[in-house]
Amino acid sequence: MKRVTLPGGETVTALGQGTWMMGEQPAHRADEIAALRAGVEAGMTLIDTAEMYGEGAAERLIGEALGDRREALFLVSKAYPHNADRDRLPKACEASLRRLGTDRIDLYLLHWRGGVPLAETVDAMEQLREAGKIRHWGVSNLDTEDMEELVAAGGSGCATDQILYNLSRRGPELDLLPWLGAQGITAMAYSPVEQGRLIGNPTLARIAESLSATPAQVALAWLLRRDGMIVIPKAGSEAHARENAAAADLVLDDTALQELEAAFPAPRSARPLEML
Ligand code: NAP
């Protein structure tokens, strides 16, 4: 499995697992646990979650599914913007730790920008890091101007920006991704198969067939070919988790890349960062 180097030198798997909408329906629980375990077995040891997902249900599911594999994992969780101040962030972090059944979060993110001044969030994150509750911190859904403000507010310790980026959402290519690259901040692509909407795309289907792959694998391989990009598809079944993990071995040839470029052209001018 390809690995990505975080600022500071630690490496993580380029392909991880998302958990939005997981842990919310009892009828799906067994399949979701099996999916997460199969994904970890297949090498997708970075797990992305948030206190928002099912109001803690996704974090609890991870604790139940993977508690016995903690040492192998790199756990990412996110705090609500309204919890990102000096008083609330430590409490939100403790609650996430309890639900995850662990003593540290590997990467803790501000889920999106809210009303709390960025300098205060930076300070609260750094204090959690010094206390050993989190190992790295970062942000999500911050566009270039917000990132510039974050760094100016003392946030040069930010490890990642988790953003909406996939074949059908190429806006960040013109400004945010180059900016993150220049700063040495790792980008993490969420909704990499556009929440399933890319799966039925005829171009993806045609390319997938020609490569003996699946549309999901083509969409993931397209993201994974970028150096330093972490990609976090969510799978609700063992079959999807294994299929997604195998995308790490898929190489897109020049013909496939040209066809994808024609079907999903790069933006011609900068666009505001989108979010889901
Ligand atoms: P996604 O990963 O693009 O798509 C998930 C959907 O695609 C599910 O319906 C899943 O179905 C389906 N799928 C996955 N693999 C498949 C495969 N191999 N074949 C066919 N269908 C497949 O969307 P997402 O869940 O929005 O994004 C991924 C993760 O990013 C989230 O779970 C979350 O952790 C994170 N995220 C973060 C933010 C943020 O604001 N920071 C926002 C959105 C998402 P099944 O469930 O049936 O497998």
Q: Looking at the CA of residue 275, tell me the nearest atom of ligand 1.
A: 40
Region 12-195+229-235: CATH code: 3.20.20.100
Is 16 touching ligand 1 by the criterion CB < 6 Å? no
Name the closest-CA residue to atom 37, ligand 1.
Answer: 190
Tell how far the Cα of 200 is from the centroid of ligand 1, in angstroms. Answer: 15
Q: Is the CB of 235 under 6 A from ligand 1?
A: yes
Residue 193 pLDDT: 98
Contacts of the segment 199-204: beta carbons below 8 A, 24+ positions apart: 201/263, 203/259, 203/260, 203/262, 203/263, 203/264, 204/167, 204/260, 204/263
Which atom of ligand 1 is the closest one to the Cα of 215?
A: 19
Of all protein residues, the one whose alpha carbon is nearest to atom 25 of ligand 1 is 234
Reported as a single tens digit per residue, the pLDDT across 37-96 is 999 999 999 999 999 999 999 999 999 999 899 999 999 999 999 999 999 999 999 999
Cβ of 191 closer than 6 Å to ligand 1, yes or no, is yes
pLDDT of residue 32: 98
Report the C-alpha dihedral over residues 100, 104, 109, 115, rounded to 10 degrees: 90
Q: Domain locations in the chain? A: 12-195+229-235
What pLDDT score does 219 carry?
98
Residues 6+ apart with CB under 8 A from 232: 15, 16, 17, 18, 46, 48, 162, 188, 189, 190, 192
For 210-269, write each residue's pLDDT tens digit.
999 999 999 999 999 999 999 999 999 999 999 999 999 999 999 999 999 999 999 999
CB of 201 sitting under 6 A from ligand 1: no
Rounded to the nearest angstrom, the distance between the alpha carbon of 234 and the centre of ligand 1 is 4
140 lines ligand 1 (CB under 6 A): yes
pTM for the full predicted model: 0.98
For residue 89, the CA-to-ligand 1 centroid distance in Å is: 26
